[in-house]
Amino acid sequence: MHWFSLIFLIFAVASLGGAAKLAQQVTTFLATAKKARGVVVRLEKPQGNDTGDSPSDLYSPVVRFADDTGTYHEFSSSVGTSATRPRWPVNSAVDVIFDPKSPESASINMPMVIWMKPIILGVIGGMMLLGALVNFF
């Protein structure tokens, strides 16, 4: 049964490495990012989600903000929200963080939104590592 532990260990190392890489990218982004105030202009279904409307469907808030030069940009958040009880309703103000060299690389400025991907991948990697160790011993 050690082969099972080895497979879990390989996936754990890959997941933890991916989480570390994503965390490094977030840290680099935060070091140079600018802040702005934005407004949610609409909620849209993520592409490929054409299964019809359901109360459990998640919608991406589309945010419009102006950079330091006054140029407006829009981005779709990677974090979804319910259309019936949205976390970010249309016309609500949100804090935005963006890369000044590439303003379309923007995010709603909330730790949960910014750090979500590395945290999820790290938790998965940690659980796989724990599973590998428990199964090995």
pLDDT per position as a tens digit, 76-126:
988 888 877 888 899 999 999 999 999 988 999 999 889 999 999 999 999
Q: Which residues have a Cβ under 8 Å from the Cβ of 106 and sit 6 or more positions away?
A: 38, 63, 65, 73, 75, 96, 97, 98, 99
Cβ(99)–Cβ(32) below 8 Å: yes
Q: What is the residue range of 108's domain?
A: 2-136
Number of structural domains the chain divides into: 1
Question: Residue by residue, what is the 3-state secondary structure of 6-27?
Answer: HHHHHHHHHHHHHHHHHHHHHH
- pLDDT tens sequence across 35-90: 999 999 999 886 655 555 565 678 899 999 999 999 999 999 888 888 778 888 99
pTM over 0.85: no
